[in-house]
Amino acid sequence: MEVPILKQGDYLIASIQSALTDADLSQLREALVERVGRFRSRGVIVDVTALDVMDSFAVRTLRDIAHMARLRGAETVIVGIQPEVAFAMVQLGLTLKGIATALDLEEGLNFLNRRGKERVDRA
């Protein structure tokens, strides 16, 4: 199932609606990396609230999305990891080291706005 990607200002928001196959996850990765360029996006939010499991493939793909988007000039935030999903991830030994996470969509947007402001302040 294809993940809808919304463009909101400088940001892209991908909200995962249901369980995803490996092929769906790879498709999401390609789509996001392509759209960061097409829309000149500065930030990407991947909302995983609906995911009831994250296994090694899902985590690796999210990590790839964040790294690829960064190489294309956009910051990624993963939002909505459920408590039991976090528990299972830690037991599996899966981490999202170096990747921004936030509790929910609102916090994710706040994070990107702060990042954007820092960038303007530095300039």
Partner 1 sequence: MPDNNSSVPIRSDVDIVSARQKGRELAAECGFEIGDQTVIAAAISEIARNILMYAKRGEIRFRGLADGDRQGMVVVAEDQGPGIRDVSLALQDGFSTSGGLGLGLPGAKRLMDEFEVVSEVGRGTTITMKKWIRRGHA
Q: Which residue has the tokens 């996006």?
A: 41
Q: Of 21, 30, 40, 118, which one interacts with partner 1 (CB under 8 A)? A: 21
Any contact of residue 6 with partner 1 (CB under 8 A)? Answer: no
Q: Of 3, 13, 14, 20, which one interacts with partner 1 (CB under 8 A)? A: 20
Contact 16, 47 (CB under 8 A): yes
- Specify the stretch interacting with partner 1 by CB under 8 A; choose among 40-48, 89-97, 99-107, 115-123: 89-97
Q: Which residues contact 88 (CB under 8 A, 6 or more apart)?
A: 53, 54
Q: How many residues bind partner 1 (CB under 8 A)?
A: 22
Any contact of residue 97 with partner 1 (CB under 8 A)? Answer: no
Beta carbon nearer to partner 1, 15 or 27: 27
Binding track, positions 34-73, relative to partner 1; x by CB under 8 A: ------------------xxxxxx--x-------------
* Calpha distance 18→1 (Å, rounded): 8
Contact 112, 77 (CB under 8 A): yes
CA nearest neighbour of 105 among 74, 66, 79, 75: 79
- Specify the stretch interacting with partner 1 by CB under 8 A; choose among 4-12, 13-21, 69-77, 101-109: 13-21
Cβ-based burial of 91 (10 A; exposed 0-12, middle 13-18, buried ≥19): exposed
Q: Report the interface residues with partner 1, using CB under 8 A.
A: 19-23, 52-57, 60, 83-85, 87-89, 91-94
